Amino acid sequence: MSSTVLFRRGRVIDPRNGVDGVRDVLVRDGKVAEVSEAPLPVPQGAEVVEANGKWVVPGFIDLHVHLREPGEEGKETVLTGCRAAVAGGFTAVVAMPNTKVVNDNGMVTELVLSRARAANLCHVYPAGAITKGLKGEEMAEMGELVSAGCVAITDDGRPVMNAALMRRALQYSTQFDVPIMVHEEDLTLSAGGAMHEGPTSTRLGLRGIPASAEVAMVARDLVLLEETGARLHLAHVSCEGSVRLIREAKRRGLRVTSEVTPHHLILDDRAVGDYDTHAKMAPPLRSNRDVEALREAIADGTVEAIATDHAPHGVLDKLVEFEKGINGIIGLETAFSLTMELVHAGALTAKRAVELLTHGPAKAFGLPGGHLAPGAPADVTVVAPEEEWTVDAHRFYSRSRNTPFHGRKQKGRVVQTWVGGRKVFENGQVGPSKESR
Amino acid sequence: MRHLLGIEGWRRDELEALLDRAKAHLPGGPDTTHVLRGRVVANLFFEDSTRTRTSFHMAAKGLGASVMNWTQTGSSVSKGETLLDTARNIEATGVAAIVMRHKSSGAPHLVAKHVRCAVINAGDGTHEHPSQALLDAFTLRRRWGSLDGRTVLILGDIMHSRVARSNLLCLKALGARVVLCAPPTLTPPGLEAMGAEVTHNLDAVLPQADAVMCLRLQLERQTENFLPSLREYSRLFGLNAAREERMKEGAVVMHPGPINRGVEIAPAVADGPRSVILEQVSNGVAVRRAILEVCAS
């Protein structure tokens, strides 16, 4: 059984270690063994990956996915979600706790982890709930969640409206040094809203969600963060005002990190078009000006991660009146190529794009991986940056199809995904080969 | 066959052709009972309505169609059927057109994408109410001949008004200047981009108007904190007798109904010499006949 792999002559982009150039990467026993500018000899029995013209980068890490298991296995399972992940070049995903049953206790955490072990594709890091049942009333047992394997604590999908409870949760979390991840939405400001408040919502006659619904909560939580000295991670930041506050908080040394989704970087509220529920999400797609601000923020380091908020839903959840449509779109299998749109457009350097998908998220949550120094886990993604393809949702590995990008032409494609030195995806095919199991 | 989902998407010449056609459907016009003979028009009303539903009913009958009246109360929707299933089932019975009212903006657009018959929007949420805008424009055209250079003031709860949106688009398309007047809390963003002028000062703009179109104020806007009180609303934005006196000579007062007498409009103004409110209702039937003729035949 081969446990040695040589990636030959690819453009290795490893932002954490300052590498961007043609290298050979040797992987042995699940770890990176050597990264060399000079061509390496092929060790006996090694599998050789000819990566000429391709990028060899650390496996992508997604801080924000919904795997829907337990409870909504018709939309996604840990297994189908992991398949979608590796097909999208992700070698690690953080699984949100808003499942049915909620991951607010160690039993559910263990269930998710055991499903992930059975899937045996990529790393799955569960996130546990801040409050029991995501009700925003009582704190969940954070200590148990962390010791069971949760890497972050979040009520994602909903905000913690009670400021005193939020303050306590931040305080309490400092003993475990886990990030508290927040979905920032003041529910009194967003109430009844179906999309971003702006000219498009006016034209369509839909109740708008003002940017202040997010920005006001970001402001509140940064104030609480400063008092408590905790770690705060802002999920799916969507507007200019939030970015401005984050920038200022970082300047003052607060421990705040954040993420932006590919769709908030690519689409604005006009994508709702003719009441397209595939453009319905929380936070909503914002104005073009917000999109510009987000693009600047990922480029200049204000925001450290691109995360998908992969949110699988069934056909019937979207084939309804716009106001009734469920929020969210899937993203694992389109994230890389959408990020490449920004690179091809000159809005992002290749190195920064890779950093946002690898070292940035790894560092934010303190996860292993995200780089290719000798000794690092051999989580490797090989991409063809110029390869053109068209998004076909029917060919997704995800169990759901809810994407506004179906039919969109893309440039940049994931060719191979390796986890722990084992190939789990190649040329459109997912799955560990039988020999390597 | 074509849909009427909103005024948006219709060109000026198309709107004018439709309004010209409506003239032939005024009382005393030629017999039109053959136009839709043997066809069925379905009235799908997911939300209460008296005048629009009755008006479409009368219009369809006047064209010789049979009318299927469907209301949400007691229907399969209360058993959990989706909007699309309801619409597809109605279509499958062989209707030529679905006239639809729904509380969700965009609901008729969803249906139109999935049925083959014509879909006519009779009011969707806070989005559009195209037949109302057409009958309003028809009423003003009969009076003025052309809307070019005229100023129409739309007054009241712009934010929640589908009548305001459709009228803005329709009146602008036909050459009028449109001024919208409402409290800031009921003025959504982006109206200027749709071609409107926006003001919060009724008294400043009132003397410029050739027509004042009052909108119905939903009384719950006060409890939702859009307004401090109905009394204050009425004082700042109500069309009362004193204001009526300051209107331009010959300027008319309109209202899509139903009226909250004494809130957005004083009873004496609603029934006064400037009022064309009942004329709007009568014209509604002729305009809706023209709409059905264009969409369902």
DSSP A192-250: T--EESSHHHHHHT--EE-THHHHHHHHHHHHHHHHHT-EEEE-S--SHHHHHHHHHHH
Cross-chain residue pair A202–B189, CB shorter than 8 Å: yes
Q: At what angle do helices A350-357 and A288-299 cross, to 10 degrees?
A: 90
Residue A437 in this model has a pLDDT that exceeds 50: no
Buried b (16+ CB within 10 A) or exposed e, A406-436: eebebebbbbbbbbbbbbbbbeeebebeeee
What's the mean pLDDT in A78-82? 98
Distance CA A258, CA A328 (A): 19
Res B252: pLDDT: 98
Catalytic positions of A: 309
Q: Which residues contact A305 (CB under 8 A, 6 or more apart)?
A: A61, A63, A257, A258, A259, A260, A356, A357, A360, A361, A364
What's the mean pLDDT in A52-70? 98
> Phi, psi (5° rounding) for residue A195?
-160, 180
Q: Is B129 annotated as a binding residue?
A: yes
Q: What is the mean pLDDT of chain A?
A: 97
DSSP designation for A23: E
Residues 190-219 of B with CB under 8 A from A: 190-191, 193-194
Residue ranges at the known binding site of A for Zn(2+): 64, 66, 156, 183, 236, 309
pLDDT: is B16 or B78 the higher one? B16
Report the residue from B106, B126, B193 with minimal CB separation from A199.
B193
Residue A340 in this model has a pLDDT that exceeds 50: yes
Residue B3 in this model has a pLDDT that exceeds 80: yes
Report the residue from A198, A204, A320 with minimal CB separation from B127.
A204
Residue A172 in this model has a pLDDT that exceeds 90: yes
What's the mean pLDDT in A129-151? 98
pLDDT range class, residue A431, cuts 50, 70, 90 = confident
Tens-digit pLDDT profile for residues B52-67: 999 999 999 999 999 9
What's the mean pLDDT in A369-377? 98
Q: What percent of chain A has pLDDT over 90?
A: 97
Tens-digit pLDDT profile for residues B181-215: 999 999 999 999 999 999 999 999 999 999 999 99
Distance CA A150, CA A147 (A): 7
Residue A167 in this model has a pLDDT that exceeds 80: yes
Peptide bond preceding A283 in cis form (omega within 30 of 0): yes
pLDDT: is A2 or A165 the higher one? A165
Residue B74 in this model has a pLDDT that exceeds 80: no
pLDDT range class, residue B98, cuts 50, 70, 90 = very high
Q: Is B216 annotated as a binding residue?
A: yes
Q: What is the mean pLDDT of chain B?
A: 95
Res B80: pLDDT: 77
CA-to-CA separations, A241 to A215, A252, A303, B190, in angstroms, rounded: 6, 17, 13, 20
Side chain identity at B178, as an amino acid letter?
A: V
CA-to-CA separations, A227 to A153, A167, A222, in angstroms, rounded: 19, 9, 9
Closest listed residue to residue B6, CA positions, set B144, B126, B140: B126
What length does chain A have?
Answer: 437
Is-contact B122 B51, C-beta < 8 A?
no
What's the mean pLDDT in B228-235? 96
pLDDT range class, residue A335, cuts 50, 70, 90 = very high
Cross-chain residue pair A323–B125, CB shorter than 8 Å: yes
| Pick from A263-267, A408-412, A430-434: least confident | A430-434
**Set of chain A residues whose Cβ sits within 8 Å of the Cβ of B124:** 205
**Set of chain A residues whose Cβ sits within 8 Å of the Cβ of B106:** 204-206, 274-275, 321-322
Res B79: pLDDT: 73
pLDDT range class, residue B226, cuts 50, 70, 90 = very high
Q: Cβ of A320 under 8 Å from any chain B Cβ?
A: yes
Res A435: pLDDT: 39
Is-contact A417 A336, C-beta < 8 A?
no
- Complex ipTM, two decimals? 0.93
What's the mean pLDDT in A343-363? 98
For A322, which residue in chain B has the nearest alpha carbon?
A: B106
Tens-digit pLDDT profile for residues A272-294: 999 999 999 999 999 999 999 99
Q: Is B162 annotated as a binding residue?
A: yes
Cross-chain residue pair A203–B162, CB shorter than 8 Å: no
For A324, which residue in chain B has the nearest alpha carbon?
A: B104
**Set of chain A residues whose Cβ sits within 8 Å of the Cβ of B126:** 205-207
Residue A1 in this model has a pLDDT that exceeds 70: no
Res A432: pLDDT: 66
Q: Cβ of A315 under 8 Å from any chain B Cβ?
A: no
pLDDT range class, residue A191, cuts 50, 70, 90 = very high
* C-alpha distance from A209 to closest chain B C-alpha (Å): 12
Residue A63 in this model has a pLDDT that exceeds 60: yes
Residue A345 in this model has a pLDDT that exceeds 70: yes
* Region of A45 on the Ramachandran plot (φ > 0 left; ψ -120 to 50 alpha; else beta): left
Q: Cβ of A203 under 8 Å from any chain B Cβ?
A: yes
Model pTM?
0.95
Cross-chain residue pair A205–B83, CB shorter than 8 Å: no
Res B86: pLDDT: 93
The first and second tokens of residue B230, run together, are: 């109905």
Q: Which residue, among B81, B88, B103, B104, would best test binding to A if mutated, counting the most A CBs under 10 Å from its CB?
A: B104
Tens-digit pLDDT profile for residues A290-306: 999 999 999 999 999 99
Residue holding tokens 């390496």? Answer: A40
Res B268: pLDDT: 96
Residue B84 in this model has a pLDDT that exceeds 80: yes
Q: How many beta carbons lie within 10 A of that of residue A132, not counting itself?
A: 15
pLDDT range class, residue B73, cuts 50, 70, 90 = confident
Res B156: pLDDT: 97
What's the mean pLDDT in A164-176? 98
Residues 244-283 of A with CB under 8 A from B: 274-275
For A199, which residue in chain B has the nearest alpha carbon?
A: B190
Peptide bond preceding B258 in cis form (omega within 30 of 0): yes
Res A2: pLDDT: 54
Residue A436 in this model has a pLDDT that exceeds 50: no
Res B76: pLDDT: 73
Under 8 Å CB pairs connecting chains A and B tally to: 68
Report the residue from A197, A206, A319 with minimal CB separation from B105.
A206
Q: What percent of chain B has pLDDT over 90?
A: 93
Res B201: pLDDT: 98
Report the residue from A205, A322, A323 with minimal CB separation from B165.
A205
Cross-chain residue pair A322–B165, CB shorter than 8 Å: no
Q: Is B23 annotated as a binding residue?
A: no
